[in-house]
Amino acid sequence: MKNRVSGFNLNQHRVCSRNGVQLKYQRGQKIHSLVYQKRMIMTSSPRNILFRADSSSTIGTGHIMRDLVLAKQYPNDKIVFATQNLSGNINHKISEAGYEIETLESNDIEELDKLIKKLDINMIIIDHYDIDYIFEKQLKIKNPTLKIMVLDDTYEKHYCDILLNHNISGDEKKYKGLVPKDCELRCGSKYTLLRDEFVQVKNSQKSKIDIDKVKVFVAMGGADHSNITIDILKVLEKFDEIYPTVATTTANKNLEALQEYAHSHPRVTLHINTNKIAKLMNESDFAIVTPSVIINEIIYLDIPFIAIKTAENQMDMYEYLKANDFLVLDEMNEVDLEKRVKLMLKSLKVKL
């Protein structure tokens, strides 16, 4: 990697064919850290910027985590997070990052509007599936000079000044008619949000694959709302050479059961609330994840993967991966997952 802005080029296909089945990893993306954006978003005078996002055992943790990355791109501005105190939240991550938190009692526009006026907010960054076009337009009417930036990855209608879809599948053409004509669209791999830890481990030397001890990274989101991690581990248990590394958080409602499973299965290593996700990914031989923002990180580190769709808001990424011949499942299915794991193991043997 020449520098942090240029990211990396994936211009080749790695293809292996066994028993008439072709396994293809497309290397056609170029992912950047949003450091590239500093020239565009830094201003001469500090602004008051409000992030509006939530996390919980139901919502998950991804919104807050990517917003913390984005917040770093505004080093000269005053950053405040407005969030609810929901069960299983990771609001402590916001505090640990050094940002102030304003706790909301609801997702009511009047409460948010009062906070905007109280803090004299110049720009609001909304990362919330339950805040829609009508909400955003009313917010603009109440605050005509307020700049509104929205994070979206499901191609919904928005009333905003800037729209960011930082997934590798992001396509600005799909937003035609969904945003105001003067809305600035930031879509696709060149806008991908990557935490510093991923940039740091990118160039670290990886150990050679030990086909007798294949390391598999498993992450179904910080909350694992679909509760399929143990089902995945039961499939992997059938392969004596596989040693799973599982990453989850205390937002996982089923954490106790997962801990018990890991304790009774010595080959399974469980990491809870780890701050070394990039390192764990980079040390793995392949990964089993959801077709969500984690795919941006997996592809950046050039890790082979199987993606299992667990929510409708993952449909765009799922369809993108499927169209580009990555190994995907539209839902958890033990038989289909086992077939894909076998394909992955065959591909690893070919690489040796």
Active site amino acids: 63
Two tokens, residue 283: 């040390």
Helix (H) or strand (E) holding 256: helix 255-264
Contact 51, 67 (CB under 8 A): yes
Distance, in Å, from the CA atom of 32 to the CA atom of 189, rounded to the nearest integer, reads 7
Q: What residue type is assigned to position 135 of the chain?
A: F
Contact 192, 168 (CB under 8 A): yes
Which residue in this structure is represented by tokens 């690893």? 348
Contact 243, 214 (CB under 8 A): yes
Q: What residue type is assigned to position 250 of the chain?
A: T
Distance, in Å, from the CA atom of 297 to the CA atom of 281, rounded to the nearest integer, reads 9
Two tokens, residue 98: 């050094």
Contact 301, 201 (CB under 8 A): yes
SS3 of 90-150: the string is CHHHHHHCCCEEEEECCCCHHHHHHHHHHCCCCEEEECCCCCCHHHHHHHHHHCCCCEEEE
Contact 31, 44 (CB under 8 A): no
Two tokens, residue 176: 């035609």
Contact 242, 265 (CB under 8 A): no
Q: What residue type is assigned to position 124 of the chain?
A: I
